Structure 1
Amino acid sequence: MGCGMAVDANRVIAGGVLVFVEPEDFKKFLELKKSPLVITGETGGFKKAKLTMTVYDGAVIITRGEVELPEKAIVIRAKNLSLGK
């Protein structure tokens, strides 16, 4: 059953559009959703950075640092973030 082809994978990275914005602009994206999904965390590696992310029409909207979130937000706090390698 299925599409006639199956592929096993050890790791899957979804492709998409990453949009980096300033914190003030990030807040504007949060206002567009009734209950925005927000992911917060810190990237790994040599130079760590705190990031806050949300999705909007298929794009991942990212800002550096922490942002004051609305009470209506659904927040996921990640132990470690990776933007793909």
Structure 2
Amino acid sequence: MGCGMAVDANRVIAGGVLVFVEPEEFRRFLELKERPLVIVGETGGFKRTKLTMTTYDGAIIITRGEVEVPEGAVLVKARELSLGK
């Protein structure tokens, strides 16, 4: 089966699709849109984790850490992120 891009995901959670990928795969998603929406922030309690997220065809694509954002991207800096509840 042919496709435009294949990505290995670290984790997929059903019920709203969250796709966790490595930073290099995340950058590939950013390249698919002219003006990607990128959300950066931290989640967690005592052990804070930096996350960078974008959207793609109804899914939320997430990577740990910060990723260089392409020029022209729409950047949202969240004070706090929650991935559930």
> Is the TM value for this pair above 0.5?
yes
Give the TM interval when normalised to the shorter protein. 0.7 to 0.9
Query: How far apart, in 2, do the equivalents of 1:72 and 1:16 lie?
Result: 27
Query: How far apart, in 1, do the equivalents of 2:31 and 2:66 lie?
Result: 16
Instruction: Give, as a single letter, the amino acid of the residue that structure 2 aligns with 1:80.
Output: E
Instruction: Give, as a single letter, the amino acid of the residue that structure 2 aligns with 1:31.
Output: E
Q: Offset at 1:72?
A: 1.2
**% of aligned pairs identical?**
75
Matches within 5 A, 1:64-83: 64-83=64-83
- What SS does the corresponding residue of 2:39 show, helix, strand or coil? strand
Q: Offset at 1:47?
A: 1.7
Runs of 4+ in 1 over 2 A off after TM superposition: none
Q: Offset at 1:46?
A: 2.3
Instruction: Please state which structure has a larger fraction of its residues in strand.
Output: 2
* Larger gyration radius, structure 1 or structure 2: 1
- What SS does the corresponding residue of 1:42 show, helix, strand or coil? strand
Query: How far apart, in 1, do the equivalents of 2:45 and 2:18 lie?
Result: 19
Higher relative contact order (CA 8 A, sep 6+): 1
Gaps of 5+ in 1: 1-14
Query: How far apart, in 2, do the equivalents of 1:17 and 1:49 lie?
Result: 20
Query: How far apart, in 1, do the equivalents of 2:70 and 2:64 lie?
Result: 17
Q: How many residues align?
A: 71
Tell me the C-alpha RMSD between the 2 structures: 0.9
- What SS does the corresponding residue of 1:52 show, helix, strand or coil? strand
